[in-house]
Amino acid sequence: MGRNSFDKREERLLKAIECEKPDRVPIVGHSDYWPAALSEKHTTQEAAYSFDILAKCFDEVFREVNEWDAFSSIMYSHLGPLSDSFDSKRYHIPGESISENAGFQHTDLELMDSDEYDELINDSMKFQFSELLPRLCPRLERGEPARIKALIKGSISLYRFFKKSGDYAEKWREKYDINPARQGGVPYAPLDWIGDNLRGIKNVVLDIRRNPEKVKKACSSLVPFLVNAGLAGASKNKEDKVYPPIYNPQHLPRFFSPEVFEEFYWPTFKRMFSEWTKRGYKVWLLLEGDVEQHLSKYKELPKGKTVIHLESTDLHKAKEELGGEVCIAGGMPARLLAKGTPEEVRERARSVLELFKDEGGFIMCQDSMIPLNAKLENVEAYVETVIEEG
pLDDT at 361: 96
Question: Does the pLDDT of residue 183 top 70, yes or no?
Answer: no
Domain span including residue 232? 3-389
The pLDDT value given to residue 27: 97
Share the mean pLDDT of the chain.
Answer: 91
Phi/psi at 30 (nearest 5 deg)? -135, 125
| Domain containing residue 301: CATH number | 3.20.20.210
| CA distance to 30, 71, 144, per residue, from 75 (Å) | 11, 12, 31
Close Cβ partners of 248 (under 8 Å, ≥ 6 residues apart): 186, 187, 188, 189, 230, 273, 283, 284, 285, 286
The confidence score (pLDDT) of residue 138 equals 85
pLDDT digits (tens, 9 = 90+) for 332-390: 999 999 999 999 999 999 999 999 999 899 999 999 999 999 999 999 999 999 999 98
* pLDDT confidence tier of residue 240, bands split at 50, 70 and 90: low
At 283, the pLDDT band (50, 70, 90 cuts) reads very high
The residues, any chain, with a CB within 8 Å of residue 144's CB and separated by 6 or more, are none
pLDDT of residue 81: 83
Asked whether the beta carbons of 161 and 77 are under 8 A apart, the reply is yes
- pLDDT per residue over 17-56, tens digit each? 999 999 999 999 999 899 999 998 899 999 988 889 999 9
Q: Report the number of distinct structural domains present in the chain.
A: 1
